[in-house]
Structure 1
Amino acid sequence: MGFARVLKDGNGDPSGYRECDGEVAYMPKQQSYENIFHLVQNIDIDTMEIVNHDFIKDFKHVYRRGKLLQEISPEDFHKYNAIYVGNHQVIYTPYGNGRIAHPESFEVLDAGGIPEGEVFPASYGRDSEFVYYFTGSTDTTYAVRLKACHTPLFFTVLKWGYAMDDKHVYFREHTIKYADPKT
């Protein structure tokens, strides 16, 4: 038996996937000290591509944390930013299905990741109908819809978790009462 090598994504960042002697396995972050591996079944090593820490794909399948995702096409399945991953069928957050209403029109509005001075990752995104905010500091696995935002095309991300549209100012997923976006 050979040594396992850590597989890296297109940016050179290490993933949770390891390859050894022609087999690919996933090792969860929180269990890495226990050496618990989940063998990735039926992956084509010649066409596999690391999407991010949790996602890998080949020419026929997409896997999350080593498990096959049913009925999801690998076509255009990619990393949008440090938070969102997916394609025209589905968008995921680090915790699960992002519940994006129109994934075919989804776009991220910032780089995602951990904002300065914060502990948890966060990011804004939008589709043709809604604006979304995801933060790892909540119990939700999905991105929260900003209910007050009725004009996603006018939504602009500012700094430090603030954003605005043509009628409201937001801090993370909350609408700031009495704040005027014009000022």
Structure 2
Amino acid sequence: MTDPQRRPSPHPSLAGREIDMAALADVVRRLVDLTVTCDVPADEVQSIVHELQASADRLAQHVPTPPHARYLVAPAPAGSDPATMHDSMPYDVVIGRYNPLALPLALEATARGARGTGRFTKPYEGGPGWVHGAVIAADSSPCGSGVRRASTRSVSSKPGSTIATATGS
């Protein structure tokens, strides 16, 4: 995920609403985190489900027909400017800032390519206390595809820890 305040998005579903749409994605990410960590009493679950269903129904009223394309242009090659990747893939399932399923990554350009850093919480957990291997593999894919050399350095692979991925040619 790149910083939505960096520059305006050219995507028609985001233009002029980048900060608000990023906030919406962040709230949904928080709901995912809370869903896998909460201990809500059974008598409250139905009320919460009802409220969330009403919110989903409200959002559904604003889906255009046909829906906007997820990608504006072909995704930029690995190692290119993260802002370009952000512009072309705002809803990407791995790095899309506006996709609440996307990994919590911040992309930045480096002299050697692109670097992604993130904090992986409980929804990304595999074995107890460890980031799931598939998540780490997905973390490497947007920056790592099509490059000759990619390395993943795990500061700690426990949930909530930083995982750094760097790529370059």
In the superposition, the TM-score normalised over structure 2's length comes to: 0.30
Q: Which has the higher contact order (CA 8 A, sep 6+)?
A: 2
The structure richer in strand per residue is 1
